[in-house]
């Protein structure tokens, strides 16, 4: 199991994280059951956007990096690293995640 962080540097354009998210989602649909997504900074004030993408095979993350050319200038795809086998830190499971419209503050989860 491997993961790679995709960071979005601070920018006045608030649409950048959404554009990266939608581009990732399109790639995830092309390869079902290949990737898992985590949002380590979700809910923190003034946090930089970080998408953490997990895959069983390193090649899947490399392919994802190569496929995201349209959003390449908006983000920095970090080098994939293996997940520690004895990880004992905090974790959670996202059953469903929806990006709310700008005017709403709540996130629906079912």
pLDDT tens string 16-56: 777 888 888 888 888 888 998 888 877 666 556 788 899 99
* CA distance linking residue 55 with residue 80, whole number of Å: 10
Q: How far apart, in Å, are the Cα atoms of 107 and each of 15, 61, 78?
A: 17, 28, 28
pLDDT for 49: 76
pLDDT tens string 62-109: 888 877 665 667 788 888 999 888 877 777 776 666 666 666 555 555
Please report, for the chain, the start and end positions of each structural domain, with discontinuous segments joined by +.
2-82
Read off the pTM: 0.72
When pLDDT is cut at 50, 70 and 90, the band that residue 58 belongs to is very high
User: Right CATH number for 2-82 from 3.40.50.1820, 3.40.50.150, 3.30.70.100, 3.40.50.720?
Assistant: 3.30.70.100
Query: Which H or E element spans position 62?
Result: helix 58-67
């Amino acid at each position: 199991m491997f993961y790679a962080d995709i960071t979005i540097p601070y920018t006045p354009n608030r649409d950048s994280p959404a554009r990266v998210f939608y581009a990732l989602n399109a790639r995830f649909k092309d390869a079902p059951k290949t990737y898992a997504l985590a949002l380590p900074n979700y809910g923190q004030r003034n946090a930089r956007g970080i998408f953490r993408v997990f895959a069983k095979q390193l090649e899947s993350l490399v392919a994802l990096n190569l496929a995201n050319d349209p959003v390449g200038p908006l983000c920095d795809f970090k080098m994939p690293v293996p997940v520690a086998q004895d990880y004992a830190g905090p974790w959670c499971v996202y059953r469903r995640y929806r990006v709310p419209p700008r005017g709403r503050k709540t996130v629906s989860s079912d």
